[in-house]
A = this chain, B = another copy of it.
Amino acid sequence: MNFCCDCGGPLSLRIPERDDRHRHVCDTCGMVHYQNPRVVVCAIPIWNDKILLCRRAIEPRHGFWTLPGGFMENDESTLDTARRETFEEAGAHIEVGELFALFNLVQINQVQLFFRATLPEPVFAPGIESLEVALFAPGEIPWDELAFTSVSCTLREYFKDRAQGHYRLRVADILHPPGQERRIHPHNFAHD
Protein backbone atom coordinates (compact mmCIF):
# COMPACT_ATOMS: atom_id res chain seq x y z
CA MET A 1 0.00 0.00 0.00
CA ASN A 2 1.58 3.24 -1.21
CA PHE A 3 -1.23 5.54 -2.34
CA CYS A 4 -4.61 6.64 -0.97
CA CYS A 5 -7.40 4.95 -2.96
CA ASP A 6 -9.61 7.97 -2.28
CA CYS A 7 -7.44 11.00 -3.17
CA GLY A 8 -4.26 9.44 -4.63
CA GLY A 9 -2.05 11.03 -1.94
CA PRO A 10 0.95 9.23 -0.39
CA LEU A 11 0.39 6.87 2.56
CA SER A 12 2.47 6.65 5.72
CA LEU A 13 2.46 3.78 8.18
CA ARG A 14 1.62 5.32 11.57
CA ILE A 15 -0.68 5.01 14.59
CA PRO A 16 -3.78 7.19 14.11
CA GLU A 17 -5.14 9.23 17.01
CA ARG A 18 -7.13 7.11 19.51
CA ASP A 19 -5.81 3.91 17.91
CA ASP A 20 -3.19 1.47 19.17
CA ARG A 21 -1.65 0.01 16.04
CA HIS A 22 0.06 1.08 12.85
CA ARG A 23 -2.23 1.77 9.87
CA HIS A 24 -1.73 3.10 6.38
CA VAL A 25 -2.84 6.74 6.74
CA CYS A 26 -3.11 9.25 3.89
CA ASP A 27 -0.79 12.26 4.37
CA THR A 28 -3.09 14.38 2.19
CA CYS A 29 -6.68 13.62 3.23
CA GLY A 30 -6.11 11.72 6.51
CA MET A 31 -8.08 8.63 5.45
CA VAL A 32 -7.15 5.50 7.43
CA HIS A 33 -6.84 2.37 5.25
CA TYR A 34 -7.82 -0.54 7.47
CA GLN A 35 -6.90 -4.09 6.49
CA ASN A 36 -9.01 -6.91 7.88
CA PRO A 37 -9.21 -10.70 7.62
CA ARG A 38 -11.29 -12.23 4.86
CA VAL A 39 -13.95 -14.90 5.22
CA VAL A 40 -13.85 -18.13 3.21
CA VAL A 41 -17.03 -20.21 3.19
CA CYS A 42 -17.18 -23.87 2.14
CA ALA A 43 -19.94 -26.47 1.89
CA ILE A 44 -19.95 -30.14 2.90
CA PRO A 45 -22.43 -31.27 0.22
CA ILE A 46 -24.03 -34.66 0.93
CA TRP A 47 -25.99 -36.97 -1.36
CA ASN A 48 -27.18 -40.06 0.51
CA ASP A 49 -24.02 -41.02 2.41
CA LYS A 50 -21.64 -39.57 -0.16
CA ILE A 51 -19.69 -36.30 -0.17
CA LEU A 52 -19.15 -34.07 -3.18
CA LEU A 53 -15.54 -33.08 -3.76
CA CYS A 54 -13.90 -30.99 -6.49
CA ARG A 55 -10.45 -31.53 -7.98
CA ARG A 56 -8.81 -28.11 -8.30
CA ALA A 57 -7.98 -26.71 -11.76
CA ILE A 58 -6.24 -23.68 -10.19
CA GLU A 59 -3.36 -22.91 -7.86
CA PRO A 60 -2.75 -23.27 -5.00
CA ARG A 61 -2.95 -27.07 -4.86
CA HIS A 62 -3.78 -27.67 -8.52
CA GLY A 63 -4.94 -31.28 -9.00
CA PHE A 64 -5.84 -31.85 -5.35
CA TRP A 65 -9.35 -32.49 -4.00
CA THR A 66 -11.32 -30.01 -1.92
CA LEU A 67 -14.76 -29.18 -0.64
CA PRO A 68 -16.37 -26.44 -2.74
CA GLY A 69 -15.90 -22.94 -1.28
CA GLY A 70 -14.26 -19.58 -1.67
CA PHE A 71 -14.06 -15.96 -0.57
CA MET A 72 -17.21 -14.30 0.73
CA GLU A 73 -18.18 -11.33 -1.44
CA ASN A 74 -19.85 -8.07 -0.47
CA ASP A 75 -23.67 -8.12 -0.72
CA GLU A 76 -24.02 -11.76 0.28
CA SER A 77 -24.46 -13.82 3.45
CA THR A 78 -22.24 -16.70 4.52
CA LEU A 79 -24.94 -19.12 3.32
CA ASP A 80 -25.12 -17.33 -0.03
CA THR A 81 -21.36 -17.81 -0.43
CA ALA A 82 -21.62 -21.55 0.23
CA ARG A 83 -24.40 -21.85 -2.38
CA ARG A 84 -22.69 -19.65 -4.98
CA GLU A 85 -19.28 -21.32 -4.68
CA THR A 86 -20.76 -24.82 -4.83
CA PHE A 87 -22.61 -23.91 -7.99
CA GLU A 88 -19.57 -22.18 -9.54
CA GLU A 89 -17.09 -24.96 -8.74
CA ALA A 90 -19.28 -28.05 -8.84
CA GLY A 91 -22.37 -27.07 -10.87
CA ALA A 92 -24.53 -28.26 -7.98
CA HIS A 93 -27.42 -26.65 -6.13
CA ILE A 94 -27.34 -27.25 -2.37
CA GLU A 95 -29.53 -26.74 0.65
CA VAL A 96 -27.32 -25.24 3.35
CA GLY A 97 -27.63 -26.68 6.86
CA GLU A 98 -25.77 -26.07 10.11
CA LEU A 99 -22.32 -24.56 10.57
CA PHE A 100 -19.95 -27.45 11.28
CA ALA A 101 -16.47 -25.88 11.55
CA LEU A 102 -14.74 -22.54 12.04
CA PHE A 103 -10.99 -22.25 11.44
CA ASN A 104 -8.76 -19.27 12.23
CA LEU A 105 -5.83 -19.03 9.83
CA VAL A 106 -3.99 -16.15 11.46
CA GLN A 107 -0.90 -16.27 9.25
CA ILE A 108 -2.95 -15.64 6.11
CA ASN A 109 -5.67 -13.47 7.73
CA GLN A 110 -8.56 -15.80 6.96
CA VAL A 111 -11.56 -17.17 8.81
CA GLN A 112 -12.85 -20.34 7.16
CA LEU A 113 -16.42 -21.55 7.74
CA PHE A 114 -17.72 -25.00 6.73
CA PHE A 115 -21.47 -25.54 6.49
CA ARG A 116 -23.14 -28.93 6.21
CA ALA A 117 -25.31 -29.11 3.10
CA THR A 118 -27.42 -31.52 1.10
CA LEU A 119 -27.76 -32.07 -2.63
CA PRO A 120 -31.47 -32.36 -3.46
CA GLU A 121 -30.43 -34.41 -6.49
CA PRO A 122 -27.11 -35.89 -7.66
CA VAL A 123 -26.58 -33.33 -10.40
CA PHE A 124 -23.14 -31.73 -10.72
CA ALA A 125 -20.47 -30.80 -13.27
CA PRO A 126 -17.03 -29.20 -13.02
CA GLY A 127 -16.92 -25.39 -13.25
CA ILE A 128 -13.90 -23.61 -14.74
CA GLU A 129 -11.99 -23.85 -11.45
CA SER A 130 -12.42 -27.65 -11.24
CA LEU A 131 -10.86 -30.49 -13.24
CA GLU A 132 -13.52 -32.94 -12.06
CA VAL A 133 -16.26 -33.29 -9.48
CA ALA A 134 -17.33 -36.55 -7.87
CA LEU A 135 -19.28 -38.13 -5.01
CA PHE A 136 -17.19 -40.12 -2.52
CA ALA A 137 -18.39 -42.70 0.00
CA PRO A 138 -16.57 -42.53 3.36
CA GLY A 139 -14.19 -45.34 2.38
CA GLU A 140 -13.33 -43.67 -0.92
CA ILE A 141 -12.12 -40.24 0.31
CA PRO A 142 -8.71 -39.51 -1.29
CA TRP A 143 -7.10 -38.58 2.05
CA ASP A 144 -3.59 -38.23 0.59
CA GLU A 145 -4.78 -35.99 -2.21
CA LEU A 146 -6.80 -33.43 -0.23
CA ALA A 147 -5.88 -29.80 -0.94
CA PHE A 148 -6.00 -28.16 2.49
CA THR A 149 -5.54 -28.93 6.20
CA SER A 150 -8.94 -27.38 6.99
CA VAL A 151 -10.64 -29.67 4.48
CA SER A 152 -9.05 -32.87 5.80
CA CYS A 153 -9.77 -31.85 9.41
CA THR A 154 -13.39 -31.03 8.55
CA LEU A 155 -13.94 -34.37 6.78
CA ARG A 156 -12.30 -36.37 9.58
CA GLU A 157 -14.40 -34.68 12.27
CA TYR A 158 -17.54 -34.85 10.13
CA PHE A 159 -17.27 -38.64 9.80
CA LYS A 160 -16.76 -39.00 13.57
CA ASP A 161 -19.98 -37.10 14.22
CA ARG A 162 -21.92 -38.88 11.51
CA ALA A 163 -20.99 -42.22 13.07
CA GLN A 164 -22.53 -41.01 16.32
CA GLY A 165 -25.58 -39.41 14.67
CA HIS A 166 -24.91 -36.08 16.37
CA TYR A 167 -23.11 -33.02 14.98
CA ARG A 168 -21.23 -30.43 17.00
CA LEU A 169 -19.45 -27.26 15.86
CA ARG A 170 -15.64 -27.53 15.70
CA VAL A 171 -13.48 -24.46 16.32
CA ALA A 172 -9.73 -24.58 15.69
CA ASP A 173 -6.72 -22.50 14.70
CA ILE A 174 -4.61 -23.69 11.80
CA LEU A 175 -1.09 -22.50 12.53
CA HIS A 176 1.58 -22.19 9.88
CA PRO A 177 4.76 -20.85 11.48
CA PRO A 178 7.43 -19.91 8.88
CA GLY A 179 9.41 -22.94 7.77
CA GLN A 180 7.24 -25.39 9.70
CA GLU A 181 4.39 -27.75 8.85
CA ARG A 182 0.79 -26.63 9.26
CA ARG A 183 -0.52 -27.60 12.69
CA ILE A 184 -4.09 -27.83 13.99
CA HIS A 185 -4.79 -26.26 17.38
CA PRO A 186 -8.32 -27.35 18.31
CA HIS A 187 -10.35 -25.28 20.81
CA ASN A 188 -13.24 -27.63 21.51
CA PHE A 189 -12.39 -31.13 20.31
CA ALA A 190 -9.77 -33.83 20.63
CA HIS A 191 -7.76 -34.04 17.46
CA ASP A 192 -5.71 -37.12 16.62
* Chain A residues close to B by CB (< 8 Å): 1-8, 11, 18, 21, 24, 33-39, 71-80, 98-99, 102, 104, 106, 109, 111, 128, 169, 171, 173, 187-188
Sample (22) of A-B pairs whose CB atoms are under 8 Å apart: A1-B5, A1-B6, A2-B7, A3-B3, A3-B4, A3-B5, A5-B33, A8-B8, A18-B128, A21-B73, A35-B74, A36-B72, A72-B111, A75-B106, A76-B106, A77-B173, A78-B104, A79-B171, A79-B187, A98-B188, A99-B99, A99-B171
Tell me, rounded to whole Å, the shortest Cβ–Cβ distance linking A2 to chain B.
6
Complex CA–CA separation, A74 to B1 (angstroms): 15
Q: List, in ascending order, chain B residues with CB within 8 A of A188's CB.
A: 98
Tell me, rounded to whole Å, the shortest Cβ–Cβ distance linking A54 to chain B.
17
Q: Known contacts being A1-B6, A102-B99, A169-B99, is A37 close to B79, with CB within 8 Å?
A: no
Query: A3-B6, A76-B106 given. 9 additional CB < 8 A pairs?
Result: A3-B8, A34-B71, A37-B74, A39-B39, A77-B104, A78-B104, A99-B169, A99-B171, A169-B169
